[in-house]
A and B are shown apart, each in its own frame.
Chain A
Amino acid sequence: MDPLSWTGAAGAILNPLLAATTLAFVVSIVSMTVLSFFTPAHTLQSNPDGSLVQQGGIYGLSEIASKYTLFALLAVLVAYIVAGVVMPYGNAGILGAISKQFTPVWIALVITFALSITFKRRLGIYGKLFDNIVGMVGFGLVMFWVFTAVFVGVFDMIATHDPLSQLSGLKNKVPGVPVPGAEDMAPGSHYLLGGDNLARDVFSRMIHGSWIVIQIAPLATMFAFMVGITLGLPAGYFGGRFDTALSFLANLILAFPVILLFYLLVTPEMVETGIPTYMAAVLFIFPLVFFAVLLNSRYHTQPSIRTPLLVVVLGAVGWIYLSLISQPGTVFNFMPGALDLFDIPGGILVVFVSVVFVNSPTIYRIVRGLAMDIKTRDYVAAAQTRGEGSWYIMLWEILPNARGPLIVDFCLRIGYATILLGTLGFFGLGLPPESPDWGSTINAGRGLLSIYPHPALVPAIALLSMVLGLNLLADGLREESLKD
């Protein structure tokens, strides 16, 4: 069995094309940036027939050039993907084989984009995203990883090998190395992105790592938002002592260097003392409080709806809460096994708690600022005159009107939570060392980085693309929400 080359037969045509378009794109971008400083702005010239002509001059020309070279570059990149999916396994090289493995993700992405673009006028702010190139690119990157994570985590597709199994002879081998004993060219007959220092498949580990990241980062961000909103709204709305005390506390946490906090919280000794479990018990009660207040403030005038609704919702959330904090082997171990829905390993819980803990003060500050701004609006005064309760005004008048900045920040913060998770993994804190999450894999690969870069480079690029996607998505959302 031969090792795979990077692009195989498809590369003979596509590689020169890629080089040419990349060069053209870089040249046009650089010339545009340089020219923007020296040339005058666009001018409009009116023709005798009443039409307008935009005169870009040489700067305008460089602008147009950069636009079309970008399109050409993207077209070549798409050609690589299509070639990989269409051509038989191995003919389009490593990139083609990887692209073939991702086939379900491509299909899901195409369906998502086709549906969203078709119905974009009816989809509110989500639909508006598809008017914005940057937002679309970001959304595409994010959904790529979401689909990858779901396909590998739920259906066990895409990955070619088990993330933990080691094949002898493939230690630190370069990308495209054939698996010993594999007979025919089929998925699984090569380590597509090489082997790591324990002879595991780098590609499969990277794919499995996405599932861990996609599970933890958004959920941790959501919890942080619940904490931030539940505390920030009253702080901004009422002000006074409560605000002063909470703001002091938030500044306290913000002044703490994040890495120091991680090193203090995420150690086995700390898990032994039970402090993370206590913190989890405190932090995770905020969603419960949030839902209780949210529903009660809305329906307290209609007890016939309110009471059953609260019982059902709080019952469900409360049960999840109790099974979340009750773990065998920690200070809270009160739930009988039959009632305990799930157990989270101590390492994951402490990682989760620290990410929530680090993020909530910032969200608190944002929500507090928004609440202070919005509480002076007329509709808040109208609600106060109507005699609505304070919590109703906060949660049903102020919060919905603060959603724009909060949604944008939510995207950014998932990215930041991903970075924090990676940081924890990079220092070998919390998650077990054999875990395939991206931070831990980078940490495992950095020892031999200058000799065998691929085990660390692959997860690094995966993490970069996902965080970049979230940032671009946030930027697109911000731009579109500002247009209103």
Chain B
Amino acid sequence: MLRFLASRILTMILTALCLTFIVFFLTNLGPNLEKVAKSELGARITDAEVESWLTRNGYMQPVVLRYGEWLGVVPGFTHEADDGAVTGRCIDAETPAEVAPTFCGVLQGDWGYSTVFRRDVSEIVARGLGLTGKLMFWVMLVMVPGALLIGVLAGMREGSRTDRTLSTLSIVTTATPEYVSGVVFITVFASSAVGLKWLNGSATSAMDDITFANFTLPVLTIALYGMGYIARMTRASMTEVMTAQYIRTARLKGVSFPNIVMKHALRNALIAPFTVIMLQFPWLLNGVVIVETLFNYKGFGWTLVEAAGNNDIELLLGVSVVSVLVVLITQLISDIGYVYLNPRIRIS
């Protein structure tokens, strides 16, 4: 188990390094940097001025070196101007050159400064994660029990008309991306023109105070898309269990059908969906970005869109690191959990 864990974590770190490097490379391409220089100095500067600004701020170094600086394993860039004033990556108004640390990167906890929000990246990311965490908590609370219930109901009698109805229903939900279900829900439940006007079409107020009216639609929109997939996996696992020998034995003993389902089948049928639920996180991240944009809920996904849309390099990097880590860690948990839950799997 330890060796398995170690190799898994090693691969995870390697993957995280590769992915962050790719993001770093893509966000720091020439045209992006030019845009940064122009937004700092004004749009009408000449190419020579752009270049000198980039050189002064360390953007002209090789990209690998700069990645190292950003990560915090290479000493931060410093530049000595003609008048002797030293500027650099780790130097700002509060920490002058004399006391500035040599390394300042993600590993030291220095995530940079957002040019859009004019605040530290770590602060914005933490706030976004907190808000998205609330959203995800409610999504999970709706999605998981709902999906398991549908899956178990469909899977306990394979081929019956209930099975067909519920399977078709889960296909419908997997075929409805968030931006479609969101639009439909807003029209039906929140539109001031034709709808029922029961709920709010915007979740902005939910950032301070969650109520049924302002949070139901975003939660439902995300939960619905993932629900069908988990339900189908649960159904597949349930049908497999229902054909097992020990279920037949229980039936022949005369155990009633609800008892067979509840006491004999359910426990074994719920192993497989666990992994699926964990692997849903990367997909949910997609949904979160769409839903937060649609409902104007300023969480993590909304931050991603703002950072990417406004060429806010450091914020985008911070958001990417967090989202990549979330994906990788959930993958790790799902692997370990599967092994832990399923005694039939032996690790070599």
Contact = CB atoms under 8 A, between A and B. Distances in A.
A40 interface: yes
A279 to B, nearest CB: 12
Contact of A453 (B26, B191, B331): B191
A460 B192 contact: no
Contact of B35 (A32, A33, A269): A269
Interface string A11-47: 0000000000000000001001100111011000000
Contact of B177 (A29, A423, A427): A423
Given A264-B23, A273-B29, A419-B177, A453 B183 contact: yes
B186 interface: yes
Interface stretch (A83-91, A211-219, A233-241, A461-469): A461-469
Given A252-B18, A269-B31, A32 B165 contact: yes
Contacts of B171: 468, 471-472, 475
A336 interface: no
Contact of B183 (A260, A442, A451, A468): A442
A272 B31 contact: yes
Contact of A467 (B35, B175, B293): B175
Given A257-B324, A471-B174, A38 B258 contact: yes
A457 interface: yes
Contacts of B11: 248
Contacts of B311: 269
B192 A260 contact: no
Contacts of B23: 260, 264
A32 B154 CA distance: 12
B28 to A, nearest CB: 11
Interface residues of B, number: 66
Given A442-B179, A467-B177, A471-B171, A263 B190 contact: no
> Which of B160, B161, B285 has the largest count of A CB atoms less than 10 A from its CB?
B161
B323 interface: yes
A260 B180 contact: no
A423 B309 CA distance: 15
Contacts of B184: 457, 460-461, 464
Contact of B15 (A255, A258, A260, A450): A255
B15 to A, nearest CB: 6
A384 to B, nearest CB: 27
Contacts of B195: 450, 453
A415 interface: yes
Contact of B331 (A255, A265, A269): A255
Contact of A457 (B187, B301, B319): B187
B192 A32 contact: no
Nearest to A172: B193
A449 B286 contact: no
B54 interface: no
Given A450-B186, A453-B191, A475-B171, A464 B161 contact: no
B32 interface: yes
Interface string A251-279: 11011111110011101011011010000
A468 B327 contact: no
A204 interface: no
B209 to A, nearest CB: 20
A193 interface: no
B333 to A, nearest CB: 14
Given A255-B328, A460-B179, A471-B171, A264 B165 contact: no
Interface in B8-47: 11, 15, 18-19, 22-23, 26-27, 29-32, 35
Given A36-B157, A442-B183, A464 B176 contact: yes
A101 interface: no
B97 interface: no
A456 B191 CA distance: 12
Given A32-B161, A255-B19, A422 B179 contact: yes
A270 B23 CA distance: 13
B201 A67 contact: no
A187 B19 CA distance: 54
Contacts of A450: 186, 190-193, 195, 201
A36 B156 CA distance: 9
A453 B19 contact: no
A257 B177 CA distance: 16
A227 interface: no
A291 interface: no
B320 interface: yes
Interface in B190-211: 190-195, 201
A197 to B, nearest CB: 14
Nearest to A457: B187
Given A33-B153, A275-B29, 14 more contacts: A32-B161, A36-B156, A37-B153, A41-B157, A63-B160, A256-B327, A265-B26, A269-B31, A270-B29, A446-B179, A449-B191, A452-B193, A457-B184, A464-B176
In the A-B complex, the 6 residue pairs with the smallest Cβ-Cβ separation, listed nearest first, are A263-B308, A269-B31, A453-B187, A36-B162, A468-B175, A467-B175
Interface of A: 29, 32-33, 36-38, 40-41, 63, 66-67, 134, 248, 251-252, 254-260, 263-265, 267, 269-270, 272-273, 275, 415, 419, 422-423, 426-427, 439, 442, 445-446, 449-453, 456-457, 460-461, 463-464, 467-468, 470-472, 475
